[in-house]
C-alpha cells in the first residue's frame, strides 16, 4: 500500500504532469477571487481540454484547480464581504469585519495557513479512510441527511447572536424560497405564478451575489472611502505572520474543524453547503468569550477556513469508491474519470490505486502551493483595503452581474439579483442576519428530498431506533437548547449584522417581519389543496416561520418601548430620528438606482455598451476622476468583457437594439 502511495506521488511530479497541476492551481487561484465563477465553472471549461491527455495529468489539472478555489475565495470574502463561493459564507462575517479594521493581512495569514492544513489533512484522511469509508457512508441514510441539514440551519440560527429569532426566521424564508418550481416528489410546480422562469426555481448564484455583493457595493460607493475604515499607517499589528501565529495559537480549533470538514465532506450533497456554518457554530459555542464574533474575531476566520478546504478530501471518497458525486464539482470529476476509462469502485481501489493516490497527492500539493503563493502575495492583495473604493465598485458590480448572467443568461436573472440585493440591504440595516437565508435556500431541496424518502421508506419506529438518528437528534436538541438559552438570557453579545439599532431600523425590521409573515401565511393558503408530499414541507416551514416572526415583532417592539421610555425620561436623542436615518442611507439608495438603470439600459444598449457606460458615468460623476483615468479604467472593463466573458467563456451578450 505504501509503495503504491509513493507511486501516486511520482505520477504527479513527473513531467509534464506537474506543469498541468501548476496550471490548474494558477487558474483555480484566479477563479476563486472572481465572484460568480468558482471551481465548477473552471472544471467545466477545462474538461474538454483534457480529452486525449494522460489521465493522471488531466485529473491533476482539474483537481488542482478545484482544490485551491476554496483558498483564494477568502480574498473576496475578506476584502469585499462577498462569498467567493458557497463554501466561504461564514468567513465573510469576521473576515470582512477584520478588513474594515485594517487587519486584512492578519485574516489572510490565518485563513491561508488553516486552508493549507485543512486541505492536507483532507487529502491524508482520504487516503487513510478509503478502506473504512463504506461503513461511514452506509451508516447515513435519508433520516440522517435530514437531521444533519437541520443541524446546520439551527447552528446558523444559534450563531446569530442576539438575533436568534431573526436568524431562524430568515432560514425559514430561505427554505420557502427553495420550494419555488417543480417539487422533488411531485409533478405540479409550486409558487410559480404562471411564470415560466420560475418553473426551475430561483437561481442560486444571483441570490448569493445579490444578498451579499449588492449591499456591500452600495455601502462602499456611499462611503466614498476605502474598504478599511482606518488609515493604512494605523494597522500596525497587521501582518501575514501575525495571522499564522494566531492560527497556531488556536491549533486545536484548526484540527477539530478540519476533521469536521473531512467527515461531513463524505456525505453526498451536504459538504460545503453546511460545513463552514457547523465549524463557525462550533467556534462560537466552544469559545470562553464570544463577544468579538461578528466584529472581527480571528476564530471566526480560522474555523470555517479549516473546514471548507478539508471537505474536498472527504467528498472524493464517495465519488471514487462508489461513483456517488456529492456536489457539482464531483459530478464533473466523475465525468472526467469515465471519459478517461476509469470505473469508480474496485477499479479505482485496485488496479488503478496509484491514480487514486495521485489525486490525494494533488490535493496536498495544490493546497500547499496555493497557500504559499497567496501568503507571498497577501500583503499586496491586502492593500486593496486602502484603495479608493470608487476604483473598486464599477469593476465588482460588473463581476457580480456577469457572474449571475453566466449562471442563467436571462434578464430575469438580473431581476432576481437586484430584488435580492435590495432585500439584502434592508436586512443589513434592519439587523436581520443574511447568511441563514442563503443556507436555508441551499439546504431546502436536500431536506425535502431526505424527508420524502424517509416518509416513504421508513416507519416511525425504524427512524427513531437508528443509532445515528439518536446521536444526531441529541446533538440537534443540544444546539437548539443552547440557542434558546442564549436568546432568553442574552448570553450572546455579538451580532452577525453589526448594525446600530435605532428607532428607524427597528421600524424597518418590524415592517420586514410583517411582510415575511404575510409571505408565510400566503404560502400556507396556496398550498392547502396540494397533495401530501408536495405541501407538507412548505406548510411546515411556513408555520414555523410565522412563529419566529411573532418572536421578532415582540423583541423589536420591546426595544422600541425602551427608546420611548428613555425619551420620556428626558433623553431626546434616544433612538435617533427618521431624518438622520434617511440621510445615512440616501447614497446607498442612489447606487441601487444606478444599478437598476444599468439593467434597464441593457436591452436597449446591449451588455457591452451598458457596462462600459455605467463605469464611465460612475467614474466621472461619482468618483470625480480625470478623463485620462476614466479612459484607462473603461478600457480595462471592455477588455475583461471581451477577453474573459466573450472569447474564453463564450457568454451570450445582449446586442444593442440597433444591431438586433
- Count up the domains in the chain and report the number: 2
Taking the model in full, what pTM does it have?
Answer: 0.76
**CB count in 10 Å sphere of residue 342:** 19
* pLDDT (tens digit per residue) in 80-93: 777 766 667 788 88
Could you say which of 459, 477, 499 is where a domain stops? Answer: 499
Cα–chain-centroid distance for residue 78?
12
Whether 326 shows a pLDDT value over 60: the answer reads: no
Residues 61 and 208 in one domain: yes
Q: What is the mean pLDDT of residues 161-172?
A: 79
Instruction: Please indicate, yes or no, if residue 376 is contained in any of the structural domains.
Output: yes
Q: Average the pLDDT over 350-366 and give the result.
A: 82
* 551 in any annotated domain: no
Average pLDDT over residues 401-424: 89
- Residues 620, 482 share a domain: no
DSSP 3-state of 190: strand
Mean of pLDDT over the chain = 81
pLDDT confidence bin for 375, thresholds 50/70/90: confident
Q: Are residues 473 and 368 in the same domain?
A: yes
275 and 403, same domain (yes or no): yes
Per-residue confidence (pLDDT) for residue 233, from 0 to 100 = 46
The pLDDT of residue 630: 93
Mean pLDDT across the stretch 403-409? 82
d(CA 99, CA 104): 4
CA distance 656 to 660: 6
Q: Residue 506 domain-assigned?
A: no
- Give me the pLDDT at residue 210, please: 87
Query: SS3 sequence, 382-425?
Result: HHHHHCCHHHHHHHHHHHHHHHHHHHCCCHHHHHHHHHHHHHHH
CA distances from 641 to 164, 398, 604, 609, 610 (A): 42, 9, 18, 10, 11
Q: Please tell me which of 23-32, 239-248, 630-639 the model is most confident about, judged by mean pLDDT.
A: 630-639
Given a cut of 80, is residue 345 above it in pLDDT? no
DSSP 267: S
Q: In this structure, are 470 and 606 located in the same domain? A: no
Inside any domain, residue 659: no
Tell me which residue range forms the domain holding 158. 2-499
- Domain membership of residue 558 (yes or no) is no
Which residues lie closer than 8 Å to 478 by C-beta, 6 or more apart? none
Residue 515 counted as domain residue? no
pLDDT at 232 over 50: no
Do residues 241 and 336 both lie within one domain? yes
Residue 207 in domain: yes
Q: Is the dihedral of CA 70, 257, 207, 534 positive or negative?
A: positive
Share of residues in the chain with pLDDT > 70 (%): 85
DSSP 47: G
Residues in the chain: 660
pLDDT, greater one: 357 or 545: 545
- Is a pLDDT exceeding 50 seen at residue 323? yes
**How much is the pLDDT for 68?**
83
* pLDDT at residue 20 in the model: 87
Q: Where residue 607 falls among pLDDT bands split at 50, 70, 90? A: very high
DSSP string, 246-262: HHHHTHHHHHHHHHHHH
H helix runs in 159-250, sequence order: 164-177, 204-208, 214-223, 240-249
Residues 6+ apart with CB under 8 A from 379: 105, 239, 240
CB atoms within 10 A of CB 657: 10
Q: 425 with 287, same domain?
A: yes
The three grid cell numbers given for residue 328, joined into one nine-digit string = 457539482
Residue 229 pLDDT greater than 60, yes or no: no
The residue among 499, 517, 533 that closes a domain is 499
pLDDT digits (tens, 9 = 90+) for 476-507: 888 777 766 665 655 444 555 556 778 888 89
Residue 442 belongs to some domain of the structure: yes
Query: Are the CB atoms for 287 and 293 separated by under 8 Å?
Result: yes
Contacting residues for 413 by C-beta, under 8 A, at least 6 apart: 203, 206, 404, 405, 407
Q: In this predicted structure, what is the pLDDT of residue 137?
A: 62
Give the whole-angstrom CA distance, residue 496 versus residue 480: 18
563-600: pLDDT as tens digits: 888 877 777 777 778 888 888 888 889 999 999 999 99
Binned at pLDDT 50, 70 and 90, residue 413 comes out as: very high
Please say if the pLDDT value at position 616 is more than 90. yes
Supply the pLDDT for residue 589: 92
446 and 585 together in one domain: no
pLDDT at site 87: 65
Weakest-pLDDT range from 17-21, 509-513, 606-610:
17-21
Q: pLDDT tens digit string along 33-81?
A: 766 556 666 776 677 677 677 888 888 888 888 888 878 888 888 877 7
- Once rounded to an integer, what is the mean pLDDT over residues 182-211? 84
| 37 & 156 share domain | yes
Q: Which of 499, 525, 541 is the last residue of a domain?
A: 499
Amino acid at each position: 500500500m505504501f509503495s503504491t502511495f509513493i507511486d501516486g506521488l511520482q505520477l504527479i511530479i513527473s513531467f509534464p504532469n506537474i506543469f498541468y497541476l501548476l496550471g490548474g492551481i494558477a487558474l483555480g487561484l484566479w477563479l476563486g477571487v472572481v465572484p460568480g465563477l468558482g471551481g465548477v465553472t473552471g472544471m467545466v471549461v477545462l474538461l474538454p481540454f483534457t480529452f486525449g491527455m494522460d489521465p493522471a495529468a488531466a485529473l491533476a489539472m482539474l483537481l488542482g484547480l478545484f482544490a485551491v478555489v476554496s483558498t483564494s475565495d477568502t480574498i473576496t470574502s475578506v476584502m469585499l464581504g462577498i462569498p467567493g463561493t458557497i463554501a466561504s459564507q461564514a468567513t465573510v462575517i469576521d473576515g470582512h469585519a477584520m478588513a474594515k479594521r485594517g487587519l486584512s493581512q492578519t485574516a489572510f495569514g490565518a485563513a491561508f495557513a488553516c486552508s493549507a492544513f485543512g486541505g492536507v489533512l483532507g487529502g491524508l484522511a482520504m487516503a487513510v479512510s478509503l478502506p473504512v469509508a463504506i461503513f461511514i457512508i452506509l451508516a447515513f441514510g435519508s433520516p440522517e441527511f435530514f437531521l444533519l441539514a437541520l443541524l446546520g440551519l439551527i447552528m446558523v440560527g444559534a450563531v446569530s447572536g442576539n438575533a436568534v429569532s431573526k436568524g431562524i426566521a430568515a432560514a425559514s424564508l430561505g427554505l420557502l424560497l427553495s420550494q419555488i418550481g417543480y417539487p422533488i416528489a411531485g409533478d405540479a410546480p409550486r409558487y410559480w405564478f404562471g411564470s415560466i422562469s420560475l418553473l426551475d426555481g430561483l437561481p442560486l448564484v444571483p441570490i448569493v451575489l445579490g444578498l451579499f455583493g449588492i449591499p456591500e457595493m452600495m455601502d462602499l460607493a456611499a462611503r466614498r472611502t476605502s474598504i478599511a475604515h482606518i488609515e493604512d499607517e494605523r494597522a500596525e499589528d497587521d501582518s501575514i505572520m501575525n495571522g499564522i501565529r494566531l492560527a497556531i495559537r488556536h491549533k486545536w480549533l484548526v484540527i477539530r474543524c478540519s476533521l469536521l470538514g473531512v467527515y461531513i465532506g463524505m456525505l453526498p450533497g451536504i459538504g460545503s453547503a453546511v460545513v463552514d456554518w457547523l465549524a463557525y457554530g462550533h467556534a462560537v459555542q466552544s469559545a470562553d468569550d464570544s463577544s468579538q464574533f461578528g466584529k472581527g474575531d480571528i476564530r471566526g476566520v480560522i474555523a470555517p477556513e479549516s473546514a471548507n478546504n478539508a471537505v474536498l478530501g472527504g467528498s472524493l471518497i464517495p465519488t471514487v469508491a462508489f461513483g456517488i458525486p456529492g456536489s457539482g464539482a464531483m459530478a464533473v470529476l466523475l465525468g472526467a474519470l469515465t471519459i478517461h476509462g476509469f470505473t469508480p469502485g474496485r477499479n479505482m481501489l485496485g488496479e488503478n490505486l496509484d491514480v487514486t493516490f495521485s489525486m490525494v497527492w494533488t490535493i496536498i500539493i495544490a493546497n500547499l502551493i496555493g497557500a504559499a503563493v497567496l501568503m507571498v502575495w497577501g500583503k499586496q492583495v491586502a492593500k486593496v483595503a486602502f484603495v479608493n473604493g470608487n476604483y473598486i465598485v464599477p469593476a465588482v458590480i460588473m463581476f457580480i452581474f456577469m457572474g449571475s448572467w453566466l449562471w442563467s443568461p436571462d434578464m430575469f436573472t438580473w431581476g432576481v439579483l437586484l430584488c435580492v440585493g435590495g432585500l439584502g440591504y434592508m436586512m443589513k440595516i434592519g439587523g436581520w442576519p443574511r447568511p441563514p437565508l442563503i443556507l436555508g435556500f441551499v439546504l431546502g431541496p436536500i431536506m425535502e428530498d431526505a424527508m420524502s424518502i424517509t416518509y416513504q421508506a421508513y416507519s416511525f419506529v425504524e427512524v427513531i431506533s437508528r443509532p445515528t438518528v439518536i446521536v444526531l437528534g441529541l446533538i440537534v436538541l443540544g444546539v437548539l437548547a443552547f440557542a434558546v438559552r442564549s436568546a432568553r438570557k442574552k448570553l450572546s453579545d455579538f451580532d452577525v449584522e453589526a448594525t446600530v439599532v435605532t428607532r428607524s431600523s427597528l421600524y424597518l425590521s418590524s415592517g420586514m417581519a410583517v411582510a415575511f409573515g404575510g409571505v408565510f401565511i400566503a404560502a400556507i393558503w396556496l398550498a392547502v389543496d396540494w397533495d401530501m408530499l408536495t405541501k407538507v414541507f412548505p406548510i411546515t416551514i411556513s408555520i414555523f416561520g410565522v412563529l419566529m416572526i411573532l418572536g421578532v415583532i415582540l423583541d423589536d417592539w420591546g426595544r422600541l418601548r425602551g427608546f420611548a421610555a428613555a425619551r420620556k425620561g428626558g433623553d431626546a436623542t434616544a433612538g435617533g430620528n427618521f431624518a438622520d436615518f434617511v440621510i445615512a442611507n440616501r447614497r446607498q439608495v442612489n447606487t441601487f438606482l444606478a444599478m437598476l438603470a444599468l439593467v434597464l439600459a441593457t436591452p436597449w444598449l446591449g451588455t457591452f455598451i451598458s457596462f462600459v457606460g455605467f463605469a464611465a458615468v460612475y467614474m466621472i460623476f461619482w468618483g470625480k476622476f480625470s478623463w485620462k483615468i476614466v479612459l484607462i479604467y473603461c478600457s480595462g472593463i471592455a477588455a475583461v468583457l471581451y477577453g474573459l466573458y466573450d472569447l474564453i467563456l463564450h457568454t451570450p451578450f445582449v446586442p444593442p437594439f440597433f444591431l438586433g
